[in-house]
Amino acid sequence: MKTCLVLAALIVAVPAAAAPADCPNQGLSRVPVTFTTAKGRFAYKLEVAATPAQQQCGLMFRRAMPRKVGMVFPFEPPRPASFWMENTPLPLDLVFVGPDSRVVSIGNGVPFSRTLIDSGGVTARVIELNAGEAERIGLKPGDKVAG
């Protein structure tokens, strides 16, 4: 009984990193983006995580995302970037885009993972897509991203 009370007290005393109600990641503005690959041109609508709070939450707690929709994290000034997937139940492709609007690298976002996914270079924005989208459209480092 004493152990149960201690565990219950710890659960109440330790707040979550970010609760769903605290995440301003719903109803964000959307921008069109087109990827140009060897397979062709592919258009998406990306939600813009513009503020620090929006970027901190990203796609946390989201359980579904429509096809051809994603989220973009703009960085000004451009810099190396690292992401993790804590509190993110969706598997994602992380597309790191350089200041020249070309893909720097593509990372595999594993749900709930705290493993850092590094850009591998200077990044002007990071685009999160549903897992498998990058492969489906043939996206590779060096491909052009417009919008």
Per-residue pLDDT of 78-128, as tens digits, reads 999 999 999 999 999 999 999 999 999 999 999 999 999 999 999 999 999
Domains and CATH numbers, the chain: 20-146 (2.60.120.1140)
Distance (Å, whole) CA 64 – CA 106: 21
Q: How far apart are CA 76 and CA 17, in angstroms?
A: 25
Is the CB of residue 75 less than 8 Å from the CB of residue 123?
yes
pLDDT of residue 23: 77
Q: Is the Cβ–Cβ distance between 107 and 133 less than 8 Å?
A: no
Q: Is the pLDDT at 2 greater than 60, yes or no?
A: no
Q: Are 97 and 74 in contact (CB under 8 A)?
A: no
Q: Report the C-alpha gap between 83 and 40 in whole angstroms.
A: 28
> DSSP code of 109?
E
pLDDT at 24 over 90: no
Looking at per-residue pLDDT, the higher value among 11 and 56 belongs to 56
- Position 9 confidence tier, pLDDT thresholds 50, 70, 90: very low
Written as six digits, the tokens of 83 are 């992401």
pLDDT at 22: 75
Alpha carbon separation from 9 to 16, 17, 104, 133 (Å, rounded):
14, 17, 46, 43
**Residue 20: pLDDT above 80?**
no
